[in-house]
Structure 1
């Protein structure tokens, strides 16, 4: 009645393992010097053999990731992130909210294995496992993060074009996309002064609109700041994707687009590592926090993305892997992982 006594960890740990029939108790390396005491307790307490064993392993450290629960709690408490399930957090809830497939995490853990020595695993290895999974399983769609209007001056009416939902799947299927002759393309896919061997659109140049037609830029409308406001193009009817008719018109580049009449406004959330450095130097973690770990942009997306169920992953062509979610009524496309650099353009 007078004393409130709790057993020490070094006593409770081995005794509870022995009582519960634990065969192997896995601990991180800092408990290595506790093992003699662990063994002494289970041997002296008179438990029947086989006795439990303590085995130590190195913590999993991933470059640019903050893995300490103490520091992660500070990020939550100080409002650096939205909570424990923020997509930037290396927690199970955070990875789930980001849209990381469980199979990709299992593959990553299998590839990394268990080590006794301290090491840092590159985040690129985790990203690669996520990317490989989504490349096979995610449907394709088109979105434009930095939109500029492209008007086809010799096109009237509207039609549907056929789009491959997932060319990596055995039966990926197809779907129809509305095409009305006025579309949005990404500003990065047009150049007023193109460099040599530029494969996208410029004045006098041609490019193929994915699953649609080849267009040629005839003129450009600039705003008062000299920025491109609208691109005026001619299309070539004989170049329709999937057509059996041969055409002498060729284009080296293929770009994504969103129809101006049917596209929907979307908020794009892109994520960068929480830490600005890859290693763990002896400095205050606050000095290493990446203040630009979340980038919010506004663009255009296909209506099929808006109509899909929450959490569904997509490969946005030439952009990255994103999942659809609604946040207080706002249509959000949240980045899961980027495309490989070689596929960016």
Structure 2
């Protein structure tokens, strides 16, 4: 387990606990009481840190190297061996940064799409750090249309620092691809549920983020720009990223208060990386509840509900 800078007090206590356990095993001395006391300190320290996170610390947690990624969540919530990945946009190419396919969750058929990051250096290059090209967004739209044809709910899992900003992406119509997806999602006649499981930045997130319901996991963020990028624009360097994070109102609590999202999915204390299965279970429960709640909606009702939801955002009331 890797620890972030503000998590070092927890690491120190964890090291003490491991040393205590090792001493007990090697010496045969009863150290249960001592280890139990250290365990209590670990829990208290975790509560002290993780229940009082700053927005920037929450951004750091969303990027934790041990945090589950989209494929991990898919494996954790779907029935065993049910996920069938589908490839290509039928126009230019396949995009490894955007994955999608058919699966079942407790027997319920779903189409899952999402942005995928990598863990090793080669994987990160292959997945472009979770930043999709235009063909990725066009593939996602193709799969959403396929799901609509067969009346299958769509589950969108977002974890991206933004759409890929490379020259080739612009040449192939990055802005148009994202705009087209937003336009088409507002008219999709099948349920669409969006879950931000890590980073949710800018148009890269919105390109697969217009749903009947939108949720954020507890240690994620959702805003128009990454704090570092905002800092570099306003202050010409990254030194004010914490100030930018505060100003952007990017936390789940902020988004829920402003009604940009419909709810917050609870994570284990400290983040999903501590106990991924708990995060998977909470996500799965939410998905199944939404599938049941929207199962009797007609295509037109789904379309109208989604449009009304997003039109209501940002209305000024004098």
TM-score by length of 2: 0.24
Higher helix share: 2
TM-score by length of 1: 0.23
Higher strand share: 1
> Rg bigger for which structure?
1
